[in-house]
Structure 1
Amino acid sequence: MALASPFPDVEIPDLSVPEFVLAAGRAKPDAPALIDGLKGDVITHGQLAAHVDRVAANLHARGLRKGDVVAVFCPNTPWFPVVFHGIAAAGCVMSPINSLYTPDEIAYQLKDSGAKVLITISLFMDRAGAAVQQTPVDEVIVLDGAEGHANLFDLLDAAAPPVQVDIDPATDLVTLPYSSGTTGLPKGVMLTHRNLVANVAQCRPLIRLGEDERIIAVLPFFHIYGLTVLMNQGLAWGGAVVTLPRFDLEGFLRTIQEHRITRAFVAPPIVLALAKHPLVDQYDLSSLTSVLSGAAPLDEQLALAAEQRLRKGADSGVTVAQGYGMTELSPVSHTTPDPGSEPAGFDVPKGSVGFAVPNTECRLVDPATGEDAAPGERGELWVRGPQVMKGYLNNPQATADTLDTDGWLHTGDVAIVDERGAYTVVDRVKELIKYKGYQVAPAELEAVLIGHPEIADAAVIGVLDEESGEELPKAFVVRAPGSGVTEEAVMEYMAGKVAPHKKVRLVEFIEQVPKSAAGKILRKDLRAAK
């Protein structure tokens, strides 16, 4: 049975992402749109719109055309939104690359996405250069300058003639982030202009951002959560987005204090710091009105502890809550409303991810039977709505495995819904490991492990670390005959092959990896034995 959102449907404008997101700012051109949290540099809404027009024109002048993919390998800076919207306005597709990726991982994404241009920064050129040696692109643009490469000033050059591209929001892609989906290796998630416009519009009745909001953007823009919820949502409603290139607790707290941040969209490890770290007491965080966590489950008691601590010095009642989504959902399907926006004044439990956003239908399906779960019972969460991806790039089988012919996206997460329509995610059907808000695919790590000459076979699962509440990647390793490879050697090998969040944190040596007759790893057996 399809369960509708308790919120009325909203109108989804038939606009491109830049047309929609930048519209509010054009009405207040002198107000700050983007602020560098470290340097204090400001880009106003008017400057943002002008810069976006220039980037689009100069990309077009460089030969890029509608549908071409531009990869962006860059941390959060005020220039990231300029580049993203410039790419989008040119009719091109931005494929964001994780800032922690190794050259091999970058090269894979460049090849799989068919990227023609890579935009990066000088600090990342060692990895970017090694990646393009494996997967060449037409051009590498280094925003802050590097010898032999175009830079930001070239993208903002005034000489290029303006460009107007005919964009069909319903079908034309705007971004191609990479996700492991419900299982397997990273895949390009095809998100259209309409997907992103819809998701910003859908969140509006629940997250009522005002024009004077200041949003701290420490979660990366290369992650769909950062791209949609922090960057585009903040800009669309005329607020100011304050960027930080990475998470450092002291810098995060100082930025909240100095810039009078009103909203923090974070992941659970940051909530943990807000609840427990002694450094928090040294800063004035009274401007905060909302801390909304996503990207991984947030423990109810942790949310309460953080909220109670922050409320001690707050000017008004700050709330700590959570939402739910995935890259394939652009990403938001559920979130906890701002106080006063709840249906019938319903107080959402802290362990809940809130309500389905407008224009969204859900089903809870028994994974064993494929039938709808009985009322009050758990089931796999299926979602249907305008935020659902177009599919996986060049991967019809993976698309069919995740998105059925009726438009239902099978999330792989098990949830329960109460009588008011508030959802709580309780388990995971899928095998993905979530570490610090990032997705870690066991199959990807297993492929790297098996590449070691002293490893005969391997399997990876996530195990819960009771102290941190994080899921840690654990490798079960079968040594090759005659090998004496150690735990430390395995972890060191992996650290050199994958991004930091994918590193194996635990190693156990076993005689044989349990597998089914069809050769599928029996992870449930490993979990039972761990």
Structure 2
Amino acid sequence: MVRSSYPDIEIPDVSIHEFLFGDVAEDRLDATALIDGVSGAITTYRQLIAQIDLFAGALAAREVGVGTVVGVLCPNIPAFATIFHGILRAGATATTINSLYTSDEIANQLADAGATWLITMSPLLPGAKAAAAARGFDDDHVIVLDGADGHPSLPALLGEGRSAPDVDFDPATHLAILPYSSGTTGRPKGVMLTHRNLIANVSQCRTTISVGDGDRVLAVLPFFHIYGMTVLLNFALRQRAALVTMPKFDLGEFLRVVQEHRTNWVFIAPPIAVALAKHPLVDQFDTSAIRVVFSGAAPLDGTLAASVAERLDCVVCQGYGMTETSPVTHAIPYDRPEIDRSSVGMLLANTEARLLAEDGSDIDAPADGVSAPGEILIRGPQVMKGYLNRPDATAEMLDADGWLHTGDVATVSHDGVFRIVDRLKELIKYKGYQVAPAVLEAVLLEHPAIADAAVIGAVDDDGQEVPKAFVVVQQGAELDADAVMAHVAAHVAPHEKVRQVEFIDAIPKSASGKILRKDLRARA
């Protein structure tokens, strides 16, 4: 077992609202909390807190409170902070929904979560309304933030002027949110995260991720995903930074917002790192304000990290976690340049980890060098309560001693630095050898003519599993399959060679940046 090298910290026994906003200093109340990256509109901390209270009051007047689940289908806009924290302020539970979901997928999540309200925007209303109708919602239970006939709007609800309710619940057990797992390895499940889970993870991040008062943080990662929700919407606000919101990723718009709003902390997923390292458009914008690029949601290769750091003249860090851990368990500290950028850094405070070999035995941290790989298990106050209405799935994931089985394969060094090798279920077995797709993807991305790539296990003519690469070629470049395979062969062991290549227009990915390998397998 490996324990965090950081001393344990105290986790306050309060609601997330009290933790985030209960002690904002008077001289910070009129500082900027949120900036709309599109329009430039500013929301101060004083305005945000007032809006949260008013929205909570309007919900309470409609009997939304402890025991109510509210669906949130909304892109990254400043109002997201108001409605999300207004729901929690009222004592209700928020289930955040992927903005790209179809009406059937929205309806399925509303049903599984037991939601009786839905909040959305007019561009998303057709799918939202169809989903709500399928669940039997009346129009007055579908709040449309920017207004629609027959539906409550955010300005109208805030204009009622109602005071926030007094609510009573146990932060250690009361569900704050019900985010859903990505579904890349099975049917999406509601992850039960309490107020204490969220507070714990924000507190843990404060010891490692050095966002501070006055920083400007780019919020392009979706708030509906746990990464954007905890590290941006909650953590950055707790640190009294200013969040600059973007409703979706577009490289040109991303670079414009960085240039215009001088964002110095940029949280991304690896696909954005690929664009920052390789796309010629980057050179047309002033990115000098960027001090730190922090990557998460999927493994970031060290060579790619170095390319981003060199091009943008910034520090690149990455972390690790999952929805079931609120999400952060590991991070590379900003001030530790000696730590390998292809690693995920060190355990956060109050966190323990184990590595399990294939036979179920523990792999100890070595006295020197790096350990053998094993499945990483996590224990700490950020670990979920369980899966909603899924005791079977909970038991598979979370054992009786509180260890969460992540399904990820990792190594640990003698000084407590972890590296994620791959997913257990994604490892390719080639002639009995284990081949990690992430390793091959990193090699592929080093090729100057490759814009993006993904690797899966495919079946050859002999019925054996072999590594297959899906490759996106840089615009204007020329590349054939033989050249791709030769490039990989020059950098890996013989059993790790790519045996099949398919060229593709874009690598399918989830909103959080994870490669959707199940979609690629359907093509293979």
TM range, normalised to the smaller chain?
0.7 to 0.9
- Given that 1:24 and 1:236 are in contact with CA atoms closer than 8 Å, whether structure 2 keeps it comes out as no
Q: Does 1:55 align with 2:55?
A: yes
Change (3 A) 1:193 1:475: farther
Distance 2:182 2:11 in 1: 28
Alignment-derived partner of residue 33 in structure 1: 33
Change (3 A) 1:473 1:187: farther
Alignment-derived partner of residue 46 in structure 1: 46
Alignment-derived partner of residue 514 in structure 1: none
Alignment-derived partner of residue 355 in structure 2: 364
Alignment-derived partner of residue 248 in structure 1: 250
Note the alpha carbon deviations across 1:314-341, whole angstroms, 9 max, x for none: xxxx2012100000000000011011xx
Change (3 A) 1:162 1:39: same
Q: Please say which of residues 182-191 and 99-108 is displaced more in the overlay.
A: 182-191
Alignment of 1:479-490 (within 5 A): none
- Given that 1:115 and 1:137 are in contact with CA atoms closer than 8 Å, whether structure 2 keeps it comes out as no
3-state DSSP class of the match of 1:65?
coil
Note the alpha carbon deviations across 1:190-215, whole angstroms, 9 max, x for none: 00000011001001111122211000
Shift of 1:251: 0.8
3-state DSSP class of the match of 1:95?
strand
- Given that 1:179 and 1:189 are in contact with CA atoms closer than 8 Å, whether structure 2 keeps it comes out as yes
Note the alpha carbon deviations across 1:466-492, whole angstroms, 9 max, x for none: 44555478999xxxxxxxxxxxxxx9x
Change (3 A) 1:253 1:407: same
Distance 1:506 1:365 in 2: 29
Size of the alignment, in residue pairs?
451
What's the TM-score, normalizing by structure 2? 0.81
Shift of 1:137: 2.8
Q: Does 1:109 align with 2:146?
A: no
Shift of 1:25: 3.6
Distance 1:131 1:472 in 2: 35
Alignment-derived partner of residue 184 in structure 1: 186
Q: Please say which of residues 411-420 and 157-166 is displaced more in the overlay.
A: 157-166
Distance 1:159 1:321 in 2: 44
Q: What is the alpha-carbon root mean square deviation over aligned residues? A: 2.6
Shift of 1:63: 1.5
Alignment-derived partner of residue 338 in structure 2: 347
Alignment-derived partner of residue 424 in structure 1: 419
3-state DSSP class of the match of 1:363?
strand
Alignment-derived partner of residue 518 in structure 1: none
| Counterpart among 142, 152, 157 of residue 155 in structure 1 | 157
Q: Percent identity?
A: 53
Change (3 A) 1:169 1:471: farther
Unaligned runs of 5+ residues in structure 2 are 429-436, 445-449, 460-503
Alignment-derived partner of residue 281 in structure 1: 283
Alignment-derived partner of residue 297 in structure 1: 299
3-state DSSP class of the match of 2:362?
coil
3-state DSSP class of the match of 1:430?
helix
Unaligned runs of 5+ residues in structure 1 are 312-317, 434-460, 477-490, 510-529
3-state DSSP class of the match of 1:83?
helix
Look up the equivalent residue of 1:13 and give its one-letter code.
P
Alignment-derived partner of residue 449 in structure 1: none
Q: Does 1:336 align with 2:332?
A: yes
Alignment-derived partner of residue 325 in structure 1: 321
Change (3 A) 1:499 1:273: closer
- Given that 1:352 and 1:422 are in contact with CA atoms closer than 8 Å, whether structure 2 keeps it comes out as yes
- Given that 1:26 and 1:49 are in contact with CA atoms closer than 8 Å, whether structure 2 keeps it comes out as no
Alignment-derived partner of residue 523 in structure 1: none
Shift of 1:165: 0.5
- Given that 1:179 and 1:188 are in contact with CA atoms closer than 8 Å, whether structure 2 keeps it comes out as yes
Change (3 A) 1:123 1:10: same
Distance 1:12 1:365 in 2: 29
Look up the equivalent residue of 1:283 and give its one-letter code.
F
- Given that 1:122 and 1:146 are in contact with CA atoms closer than 8 Å, whether structure 2 keeps it comes out as yes
Distance 1:200 1:81 in 2: 16
Alignment-derived partner of residue 415 in structure 1: 410
Alignment-derived partner of residue 483 in structure 1: none
Distance 1:284 1:508 in 2: 41
Look up the equivalent residue of 1:211 and give its one-letter code.
D
Distance 1:506 1:98 in 2: 21
Alignment of 1:88-487 (within 5 A): 88-138=88-138, 139-180=141-182, 183-311=185-313, 318-339=314-335, 342=336, 347-366=338-357, 368-374=358-364, 375=366, 376-430=371-425, 466=444, 467-471=450-454
Change (3 A) 1:208 1:394: same
Change (3 A) 1:264 1:463: closer
3-state DSSP class of the match of 1:110?
helix
Distance 1:193 1:277 in 2: 41
Alignment of 1:4-15 (within 5 A): 4-15=3-14
Q: Please say which of residues 29-38 and 151-160 is displaced more in the overlay.
A: 151-160
Look up the equivalent residue of 2:355 and give its one-letter code.
L
Change (3 A) 1:308 1:162: closer
Alignment-derived partner of residue 477 in structure 2: none
3-state DSSP class of the match of 1:419?
coil
Look up the equivalent residue of 1:308 and give its one-letter code.
E
Shift of 1:70: 0.3
Alignment-derived partner of residue 453 in structure 1: none
Note the alpha carbon deviations across 1:359-397, whole angstroms, 9 max, x for none: 00000011x211102441111000000000000000000
Change (3 A) 1:262 1:432: farther
- Given that 1:23 and 1:236 are in contact with CA atoms closer than 8 Å, whether structure 2 keeps it comes out as no
Shift of 1:279: 1.0
Look up the equivalent residue of 1:146 and give its one-letter code.
A
3-state DSSP class of the match of 1:118?
strand
What's the TM-score, normalizing by structure 1? 0.80
Change (3 A) 1:176 1:348: same
Change (3 A) 1:253 1:468: same
Shift of 1:431: 5.1
Alignment-derived partner of residue 315 in structure 1: none
3-state DSSP class of the match of 1:187?
coil
Alignment-derived partner of residue 456 in structure 1: none
Look up the equivalent residue of 1:174 and give its one-letter code.
A
